[in-house]
C-alpha cells in the first residue's frame, strides 16, 4: 500500500510530467503500485479537465444566451418605441391632413363655388341681354337700355332693367367674395384674373348706377367699351381644382 508521502509526490506532478512517465512505461521511475496510482491520477486529471471544459462551455453558453436575450429585449423595446413614436407622428400627420382637407372644403364651399355659380348666372343673363329684343344693333347692353328708355319710356323696359339689376347685384356679390378670399388665393393666374374682373365689375356697376343721371341729363356713356375678362371663369375653376386636389 502506497504511503501518503508517495501519493503526495505523484499528486504534485504536472499533467505533462504524468503523461511523460506513463509513456516511459517500464522505464518510468514509478513502478508497480506507484505506476498504477500514476495511471489513476492521470485519469482523474483527465476527468477533471473534461469537467472544467464542460463548466467553461456552459458558462460561455450562458453568457451568449444572456447577450442574445438582452439583444432581443433591446430590439423589442426599439420596435415598440418606433411604433409608438411612429404612430404619434402618423396621428399628427393625419390630423394635419384632415384640417387641411376641411379648410379646402370650406374655402371652396364658402367662396369659390359661389363665385363660379354667380359667374354662370351672369353668363346666362349677359347672353340673354346681348340678344334680340334687348340689344340695339351696334351697342352694348347698358347703351341699348339707355337708347330704349329714351325712345319708348322706362316702364316699357322694366324687365330688361330687372335683368341688369341682377347682373350688377351678382357683380357686387362676387367682388365681396373675392375680397374675403384674396388672402387664401393659391394660383397666380387666379390672382391676376380676379384683379381684372374686380376692376371690370366696379366700372360696369358704376356705369349702371350713373345711367339715370345720364338719362336725365340727356347725355351718353363714354365711348370706351368695357371688355369682360374672359379668362376669369377658367381661373376660378382652376383654383377650385387645386383646392379639391388637396382634398
Domain ranges of the chain: 4-85, 99-245
Q: How far apart are the first and last CA of the chain?
A: 103
In this structure, are residues 240 and 112 in contact, taking their beta carbons and an 8 Å threshold?
Answer: yes
The whole-angstrom separation of Cα 1 and Cα 163 is 139
Whether residue 113 is predicted with pLDDT greater than 90 in this model: the reply is yes
Give me the sign of the Cα torsion angle 240, 103, 122, 142: negative
Per-residue pLDDT at 134: 94
DSSP 224: P
pTM: 0.61
Whether residue 87 is predicted with pLDDT greater than 70 in this model: the reply is no
- Going by C-alpha positions, the residue among 110, 207, 111, 132 that lies closest to residue 168 is 207
DSSP 132: T
Report the pLDDT averaged over residues 88-96. 70
Q: Which of 25-34, 134-143, 148-157, 169-178 has the lowest mean pLDDT?
A: 25-34
Q: How many CA atoms lie within 13 A of 237 on its CB side?
A: 8
Per-residue pLDDT at 61: 75
Q: How confident is the prediction for the chain on average, in pLDDT?
A: 84
Whether residue 6 is predicted with pLDDT greater than 60 in this model: the reply is yes
Q: How many CA atoms lie within 13 A of 126 on its CB side?
A: 14
pLDDT of 14-46, one tens digit each? 888 878 777 877 878 878 877 787 788 788 878
Whether residue 83 is predicted with pLDDT greater than 60 in this model: the reply is no
Tell me the percentage of the chain whose pLDDT exceeds 90. 47
Whether residue 159 is predicted with pLDDT greater than 80 in this model: the reply is yes
The residues, ordered by sequence, that sit 6+ positions from 104 with a Cβ below 8 Å of its Cβ are 243, 244, 246, 247
- Going by C-alpha positions, the residue among 122, 227, 211 that lies closest to residue 161 is 211
Amino acid at each position: 500500500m502506497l504511503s501518503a508521502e508517495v501519493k503526495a509526490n505523484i499528486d504534485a506532478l504536472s499533467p505533462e510530467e504524468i503523461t511523460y512517465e506513463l509513456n516511459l512505461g517500464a522505464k518510468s521511475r514509478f513502478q508497480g503500485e506507484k505506476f498504477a496510482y500514476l495511471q489513476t491520477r492521470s485519469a482523474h486529471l483527465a476527468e477533471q479537465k473534461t469537467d472544467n471544459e464542460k463548466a467553461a462551455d456552459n458558462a460561455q453558453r450562458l453568457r451568449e444566451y444572456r447577450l442574445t436575450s438582452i439583444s432581443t429585449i433591446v430590439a423589442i423595446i426599439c420596435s415598440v418605441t418606433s411604433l409608438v413614436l411612429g404612430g404619434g407622428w402618423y396621428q399628427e400627420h393625419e390630423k394635419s391632413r384632415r384640417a387641411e382637407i376641411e379648410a379646402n372644403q370650406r374655402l371652396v364651399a364658402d367662396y369659390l363655388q359661389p363665385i363660379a355659380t354667380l359667374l354662370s348666372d351672369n353668363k346666362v343673363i349677359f347672353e340673354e341681354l346681348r340678344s334680340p329684343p334687348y340689344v340695339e344693333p351696334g351697342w352694348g347692353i347698358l347703351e341699348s337700355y339707355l337708347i330704349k328708355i329714351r325712345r319708348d319710356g322706362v316702364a316699357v323696359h322694366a324687365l330688361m332693367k330687372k335683368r341688369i339689376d341682377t347682373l350688377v347685384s351678382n357683380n357686387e356679390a362676387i367682388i365681396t367674395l373675392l375680397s374675403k378670399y384674396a388672402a387664401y388665393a393659391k394660383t397666380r393666374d387666379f390672382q391676376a384674373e380676379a384683379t381684372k374682373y374686380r376692376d371690370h365689375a366696379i366700372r360696369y356697376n358704376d356705369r349702371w348706377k350713373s345711367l339715370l343721371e345720364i338719362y336725365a341729363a340727356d347725355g351718353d356713356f363714354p365711348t370706351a367699351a368695357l371688355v369682360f375678362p374672359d379668362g376669369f371663369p377658367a381661373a376660378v375653376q382652376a383654383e377650385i381644382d387645386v383646392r379639391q386636389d388637396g382634398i
